[in-house]
């Protein structure tokens, strides 16, 4: 009997990746099918389906589920789901696909990565999706932009995933599927596990968040986004190296599990925080650290909108719980790390370095204060910035 939280929906994990032995035959069959190219985001969702992160979904959503996810955060069967997972294609391509057809899904290089049995074709109201999911229809929002640019027709239906792309190879020792993280937690006897979501190298504020989670639970899953990020973000391999060195030097052995997962950020702020919680439950986590402006971008969301949205959910929406933490920083007067909830001192005592200023410091080889980032981490990042030339 596992002491971990159950997968979302309460049933078993549903990884949609076909067993390796059966893949050859399926690929041969897929080669005969009409091809539908996936966008980068759709491909990342296919990989999420493949590993079981989107349990209990069987594939890309139909119209009723799309609308339910947008408007009520509920699928047509009543299950909580805060962001639609959909597949689009061009109208003329869709016209030549009949219901019940199987189509081959391909990545950006044309490689077949999955098969979709089309059970539904429908047009969506992009404005409705963006208003509900992104709280904006501003085309400058990177998530909105992708919705606006997607094909006119959504194809829905169950999928079979035939590939995990480059991930298992590129991120060996980091690319763990939900069944694997669950096994790791169980082996350690953990039941109270917080996920710490990151798409950045971990500075001291991030370390502080992760360590609060460790204090009150069995351990933390440092869970890195390996999918596409927005321009200017630190690439995954550098980030992995920076986090490795942090964990090695500043964490007690056996308190942190590192893993990466293939999602592409939508930057949907509060709604995405809910999706992050949902699939972390599939990974076996009982808590998700939700800090300031979780999954946000620009000024589209209030700094704690992603905290508040959890308070609006029905009790049975999720088993996983948010671990809401206020803005985090080093305070001179506190003589250590603190948050807005524990430090009564003023801005003048707090060390805040913006992303822009930090990049400038690296560009100029200025010393990044040890109170902001561990020297070992700074060294890794400096080498990366230097390599940009």
CB 155 within 8 A of CB 88: yes
Number of residues that bind a copy of itself (CB under 8 A): 27
Residue 238 has phi, psi (to 5 degrees) of -70, -45
Pick the binder of a copy of itself from 122, 250, 362, 385 (CB under 8 A).
250
Catalytic residue among 135, 177, 199, 239: 199
Q: Rounded to an integer, what distance in angstroms lies between the CA atom of residue 125 and that of residue 322?
A: 31
Nearest approach, Cβ of residue 101 and a copy of itself (Å): 51
Q: Does the active-site annotation cover 199?
A: yes
Pick the binder of a copy of itself from 81, 134, 190, 251 (CB under 8 A).
251
- Collapsing DSSP to helix, strand or coil, 225 comes out as strand
∠246-247-250 over CA atoms, to 5°?
A: 75
Nearest residue (CB) to a copy of itself, 3 versus 77: 3
Strands (DSSP E) contained in the chain are: 35-37, 59-60, 87-89, 102-106, 112-117, 120-123, 153-161, 193-198, 219-225, 256-261, 287-290, 321-324, 328-331, 336-339, 350-351
Nearest to 43 by CA among 114, 100, 103, 137: 114
Nearest residue (CB) to a copy of itself, 51 versus 220: 220
What secondary structure, in 3-state letters, does 295-308 show? CCCCCCCCCCHHHH
Nearest approach, Cβ of residue 342 and a copy of itself (Å): 4
Nearest approach, Cβ of residue 223 and a copy of itself (Å): 18
Nearest residue (CB) to a copy of itself, 319 versus 334: 334
Q: Rounded to an integer, what distance in angstroms lies between the CA atom of residue 243 and that of residue 174?
A: 12
Pairing relation of β-strands 102-106 and 112-117? antiparallel
Q: Does the active-site annotation cover 21?
A: no
Stretch that binds a copy of itself, among 22-30, 233-241, 331-339, 379-387 (CB under 8 A): 331-339
Q: Rounded to an integer, what distance in angstroms lies between the CA atom of residue 78 and that of residue 96?
A: 33
What x-and-dash track marks residues 190-229 binding a copy of itself by CB under 8 A?
A: ---------------------xx-xxx-------------
Residue 175 contacts a copy of itself per CB under 8 A: no
What x-and-dash track marks residues 273-312 binding a copy of itself by CB under 8 A?
A: ----------------------------------------
Catalytic residue among 126, 200, 350, 359: 200
Cβ–Cβ contacts within 10 Å for residue 321, how many?
17
Stretch that binds a copy of itself, among 62-70, 84-92, 165-173, 334-342 (CB under 8 A): 334-342
Active-site residue list: 199-200
* Contact set with a copy of itself (CB under 8 A): 211-212, 214-216, 249-253, 255, 323, 325-326, 334-344, 370-371
């Amino acid at each position: 009997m596992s002491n971990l939280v159950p997968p979302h929906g309460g049933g078993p994990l549903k990884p949609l990746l076909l067993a390796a032995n059966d893949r050859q035959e399926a690929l041969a069959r897929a080669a005969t099918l009409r091809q539908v190219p996936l966008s980068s985001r759709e491909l990342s969702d296919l990989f999420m389906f493949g590993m079981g992160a989107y349990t209990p979904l069987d594939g890309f959503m139909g119209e009723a589920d799309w609308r339910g996810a947008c408007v009520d955060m509920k699928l047509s069967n009543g299950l909580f789901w805060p962001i639609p997972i959909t597949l689009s294609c061009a109208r003329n391509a869709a016209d030549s696909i009949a219901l019940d057809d199987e189509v081959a899904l391909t990545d950006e290089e044309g490689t077949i990565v999955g098969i979709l049995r089309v059970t539904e074709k429908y047009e969506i109201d992009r404005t409705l999706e963006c208003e509900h999911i992104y709280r904006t229809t501003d085309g400058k929002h990177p998530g909105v932009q992708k919705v606006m640019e997607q094909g006119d027709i959504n194809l829905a239906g169950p999928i079979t995933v035939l590939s995990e792309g480059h991930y298992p190879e590129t991120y060996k020792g980091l690319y763990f599927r939900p069944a694997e993280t669950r096994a790791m937690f169980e082996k350690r006897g953990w039941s109270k596990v917080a996920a710490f979501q990151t798409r950045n190298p971990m500075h001291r504020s991030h370390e502080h968040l992760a360590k609060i989670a460790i204090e009150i639970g069995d351990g933390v899953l440092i869970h890195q986004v390996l999918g596409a990020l927005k321009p200017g973000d630190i690439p995954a391999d550098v980030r992995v190296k920076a986090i490795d060195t942090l964990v090695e030097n500043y964490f007690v052995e056996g308190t942190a599990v590192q893993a990466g997962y293939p999602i592409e950020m939508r930057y949907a702020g509060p709604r995405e925080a809910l999706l992050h919680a949902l699939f972390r439950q599939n990974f076996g986590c009982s808590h998700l650290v939700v800090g300031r402006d979780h999954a946000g971008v620009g000024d589209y969301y209030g700094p704690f909108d992603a905290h508040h949205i959890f308070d609006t959910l029905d009790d049975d929406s999720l088993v996983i719980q948010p671990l809401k933490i206020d803005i985090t920083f080093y305070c001179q007067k506190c003589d250590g790390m603190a948050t807005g909830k524990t430090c009564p001192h003023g801005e003048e005592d707090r060390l805040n370095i913006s992303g822009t200023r930090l990049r400038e410091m690296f560009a100029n080889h200025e010393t990044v204060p040890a109170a902001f980032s561990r020297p070992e981490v700074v060294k890794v990042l400096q080498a990366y910035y230097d390599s940009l030339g």
